[in-house]
Structure 1
Amino acid sequence: MDCVGSVVDVINTYLFAPLVEQVSYLRSSGANVNDLQTAVRRLMARRNDEQSNLKAAENAGQVKTDIANNWFEEIEAIKTEFDALENKYSQGTYMNCWLLYNLSKRSVELKQMASDLLNEQFDLVRRPFPKSVIEIECESIENQQSTQHMLQQMLDCIDDPEIGIIGLYGMGGVGKTTLAGKVNNHFKKNFCFETVIMVTVSAIPNIPSIRTSIGKRFGLDLSNDNEDDARELLLDALRKNKFLLILDDLWSKLELKDVGIPHPRNHKGSKILVTSRIQDVCTDMDARKTIKLRPLSIDESWNLFVEKSGQHVTADHIKRSAEKIVGKCKGLPLAIVTVARAMANRHGIGEWENAAREMEQSATELRGMKEEVLVPLKFSFDRLENDMLRSLFLYCGCFPEDYNIEKEGMLNFCVGEGLVNKIGSLTTARNKGEALIGSLKTACMLEDGEDEDSVKMHDMMRELALWITSPESDCSSKFLIKAGQSFKDAPEANQWLNATRISLMDTKIKELPELRERCPKLTTLLLRHSKMIHTIPPTNFFQYMDHLSVLDLFDTQTLECLPDSLSCLVNLRVLSLRRCKRFRSLPALEMLQQLQVLDLYGCLSLDQQILGSKCMGTISNLRYLDVSLTKVSFSRGVISHLLKMEDLRLYNAHNIRWRVSSENEKWDDQGNINNIDVGELSHLTNLTSLDICFKDIKISNWFKPLAKKIRVLILQRCRDIKQEAIRALNESQNLQFLSIQECSGLTYAPTCLKGRLEIWNCTNLEKMLDGAEEKTNQDSFQRLESLDLKGLLILERICVGLAPLKCFGNLNKISIFKCKKLKMVFTKGMPRFFNNLKSIAVESCDRMEVIMETEEEDGKLEGSNNDRVISAFPKLEKLTLLHLPLLVEAHNNHIWHCPILKEMNVDNCPRLEKDPLRIQTVHGLQVINGTEGMPKSRMKRKFKRFKSNEGEGSTH
């Protein structure tokens, strides 16, 4: 029985049960299809919900996961098959059993698949994987060659393995962000970095925001992490990548470690580029290379303007005005684009002429200039470190457009602002002024001037200063500025009343208004270079300016006198009448007891005694006095009462004579009141700088204490000279000009001075430098820039023996005249290379044979004739050789290589007629003057013949 039961179970399991299941597909076909319909309907509902969720997530920046993508594809496959199945089922009256069986069975299978998909759980979306570079939209630089050059320079720095951090700086609106964007986009096609990220930092860095922005590029959400965790996560992500990080618009140092950024020196191959308006910020960020982005050239500015405004601006009737407008922008792209957009739809000549006038008078009148240019630029002003910097910036706006502002002229500002009283001395105030100027330059709010002693202000920065100090501004300082040749009429009296500073510099104004009300805030009045002002209103003009601290009349050339109301300026600290050539009468100064700077330099017509006994209160405060090139005089005892004097300039003060009390000369109170005892100078214990001329007096021990304070010194006909006294000049760090004339007692020349040295007609000077004597003094003639020797009848050598290594290293000009015994200029013991020498002039030296004496190792062999070529004068531009009867050549059997020589004057050098000077140039001489008796054309042919046979380059 057990055996029979087992057989029955096997038959039931493997035969009847499957048979029943298969039969049920036929019996339940309708129910199966209906169940499938229900399952598909539910599945499609979830699909629709998930699609809505997906759209929202994608709008938020997330992307669909691969598993979600497969899920949607499987649903579409089921839906497609269900639609076909349902269509077949609806035609059931024509189906045979076998077809109905298959349809029912597939319905069951599809239902199970639909149920599985309906219940499946998965991540619909994920954060996107970071792109290597996200392209940034920025302005084209296609027609800006200088900007393209800067871009390449930056890319070269990024490519340099020795440079980890690069700094790009420049004034606001000059295009730093555009250039940084170009750097970013460059690496879209150049796969040098795994990740390139550009982040704007701004004035007040939000470190969590910066960190989050960088983190997003790596798929990190750091917004909810604590500070330490977020920093470590970002640090770890960056360390795993070779990255370029661009930090745009920094205003102060950003600590990389606080953000979670590894320093490139610890992460080789990665780079950081920072941009800022302030050079110091780049340096503070440890930038190994800083690059200044400068404004566009004239042509580039014009091309940008045409691009943004339209071709109509090139029409003849518009172009002239358009060029004036563009010129006013001074290459600042932000200003150019703003003006171009404002004028894009303007076609009438009147509209353009009016716009040019508005730009000339006040750029704020033009649409968009205030909001789009000046407001962004003002951010630089607001971010300056202190009020003194802001005040100096606004002061610079008082100068005319494109004016070269001398740094020394900033002394007026420093004194006027009371810096001397605050920090103790004129020297310290001057140094402070230098530091302030440096800070404004590194902030790109001032620019380099035409030389190292001056600065300039970009036109848009000047417009900013004018706008800040205009009546419409909320700034407390209100300036009245009418500076420049376009102004012919002075502002009316009522405009003066609320001004704190008034500038009428470089105008064509002839008359100033009569004032009848106080100007209670006025501290500065600048009238310099207004050469047509010949008089100041005589009645009470200065009476209404009792707070005036600076009165600048520099170069008002027709001005002859000042009114007596000058005595009302009881707070005046600076009075400048510099280069007022016709000025002849200075009012009494006894009431000006705050006066610290009195500048009368170049008042050639001023012939009066000043600072008399009634001015003792005034002179006790004076710290700077310049009466050079005047005819002023002092009564005895005045000099000794200048107790605070720091900078005294008496250079070529024609009516001042000096005497030494030990000479036992008698005073003549009637005729020689201008003779001042040199002992009075010893009372000036605060003196640091002295310009002075001594004539016909003994130079002895009294001179030693003064020597180290002297800046400019002229000695004339001082026949009795103690050499120890002259040697004391070597202790001066301030000596810039020394002229010794007709001093027969001179046997030693000071060697430690900067600037210019003249020695004329000193008949007992045999040498300028003795190497044996100066071997312990490595500064000998190291800072000298110009050497002028004339009438030194027994001078045989400039240098005897071996000169110090850097001797004459800064010399740029040497002139030798009537030194009868001198045979050569540069002897063996002197340096063989003069890298800064631009001009050599030798004239009327009867025994001169060669310019440079030969040493065996001089030069290198060149050419088929094995000539020795020496490159001693790489910057020589002018060579003058006149009246030298024994001169054979420049350098014995050597060729001078002078690559930039432009002018050569050779006259009455008869021994040069047979052979020309052996000189190589690169660009050719522009001027050649032949020797006496030899036409210029012949001299030039000889020079050319040598050039073509023995040298390189060409002449023309």
Structure 2
Amino acid sequence: MAEGIGYAILGRIGQNLVAPIGRQFGYLFCFNTNIQNLETQLDSLKVTREGVQLGVDETRNNVRTVGPHLEAWLTKANANTAEAETIINDKAQVQKGCFNGWCPNLKLRYSQGRKAVKKTQELALLHAEGSNYIQSSYNPPPLRIEPISRTTEFQGFDSRILVMNVIIEALKDDGIPLIGICGMGGMGKTTMAKEVPNRTKNLFNEFPMAVVSQEPNLKQVQSCIAEMLGLQLDMENPIVRSSRLRERLLQNDKKILVILDDIWEEFDLEELGFPLEGGSNKNCKILFTSRNQNLWKGIQNKRYIQLQVLVGEEPWHLFRQKVGDCADDLDLLPLAKQIVNECGGLPLALVTIGRALTNEHNQCHWNNALQQLRAPCSESLSSEVPAKVYQALYFSYNFLKDEKAKKLFLHCCLFPEDNDISIEHLVRYGIGLRWFEGIDKVDEIRDRVNVLVDQLKSCYLLLDGHFEGCIKMHDVVRDVAISIAAKDKHGFMIIHGAKLREWPKKVTYELNTSISVISNEIVEFPGGSRCLKLEFLLIVCQNSSLNIPSNFFEGMGELKVLDLSITTYISLLPSSLQFLSNLLTLYLDFCQKFDNISIIGKLLNLEILSFRFSNIEELPEEIGGLVNLKLLDLTKCDQLKRIAPGVISALVQLQELYMDGCGIIWEREGKEGGENASLREFESLSNLNTLEINIKDVVCLPRIPLFSKLTK
């Protein structure tokens, strides 16, 4: 028995000796495996560290304090990551050994193998700890200004390089917190401002930018800057909003350049949360663009930088780049030189007329352009828009060969200044205004509109918007478009502005064909106004005191397109809406629920109906009477719970149906006397070719061929 106990003790001693010896040999002979394990664990830790860093960044962006445990973990993770990378990078030296690899360096191999094993264990512990600090999701990172291609918009001209150098020197001066780029419309101030981030990445960490415009919404400017900084500025109290924004702009670990574009009148920067402490503030500076160089006279430490016209050979080089090789034709070269001279070095005029004449070899068109530039300009545009810019833009507009392109261009000025314009809106407006007679398919009209948009963009009359599927107008181009609409008697009435407190009063509205009224201050609309020629009406007014008389639409019998964003605070649509017998396109986006939504069913000629992001709860059976409806948009109507049975199947002309994000729960099989529509109703829609619908709650689809060819 004693002998057995002895053997057991010796066995345990042997095991205790073998394990450490085996581990030591493992450092030596399993070197490659140890390094591979370290690399795998390092990759896992990096993913964890990235997740923790996202949370830390979000916390700091929102001016909250990061917990000391997170700071300590990140410090330790960064240090261990660097040590692990050093061990991995030394792998080649270990494998090289002596005598060109014939004799391995056993001592170094053992040492590095041991380090790899130890470090792998440390990384595993860090990874496990860091996993507790990771959330499932984070807010998206701050937005960045899209860079301007230096080969197209920002030219390497001496006059522009000189201005850029002056701007950079001013930005380097800690005593100058406010810098303005000033000049007439069409000089390229915005382009210059957007180029600054590309040239000053070594000076600043972040470059938030907002467009202020002629009728500024300063709360929206705050929100735009905050969004680009990753700051959630959802509080309503103006003092709290400004204080939070100010804290974010003065964070010690960030250097921030705020860019405010297109300022017309000065406002209290400090009150809005934009700090201007001069020499004591080295973290935040403000760069703005304006046609007015007399802003903020009371601020001592500021710098205004004037952007002048192009000089010397610069105008020719810019024009030549836009117009192409045709300018080199012997017959056209003299005309091209004269056109450049007439443009007076104004970049927007040179670019616009150059693009209009691109690859144009007909001498008559060049003569016409020169004559229009030389003609006296009697247009009463603001003094900040040079006559030559107006004439160049008017020529580009007049040179458009497609009348539909002209109509589309002019309708873009009905939207607010600096506003992103949805191309899809233009498609649906165009259907209602009958721009494309003879084309019945919605998708074919959409293709035509996109072609027209490309034509206008190629002439510099339209620009890419900030978001996909959107376009925008340069503010000077919009001014000219409004002037053209008035000059050519198109019957446009455009009344926009935060200061507009009452419906515009006119002797008569009988000549107006298109009216755009945008203001959140209007409290009452007129009733029964005679608008006998009115075909297009766009109204945006979100006012809790808004009063809309029931007879508001009585004198608008010819109305074809109605975009009515006035519905946030009302529960009843004006009863006179039902008498708009010629209405073809109706937008009621972002509206509340209506108690009388069924009156829309009386608009029997309606072809486009949109309720996007609205709070309607039911699509009543009267909607089934819209037998001419081609497009129904219920996107993100998450309160929609019921569609009356038979409504969908009655819309026999429907080509496009958008219901993604709706709250509706479909019945897979139709039930006799059921309370809701079923998927069976789609079976009768032979014209339907576009369907966006949420059917995730349906166990299985009915055997309808339609579903096999549509995106579900």
| Structure that is richer in helix per residue | 2
Q: TM-score, normalised by structure 1?
A: 0.37
| Structure that is richer in strand per residue | 1
Q: TM-score, normalised by structure 2?
A: 0.49
Higher relative contact order (CA 8 A, sep 6+): 2
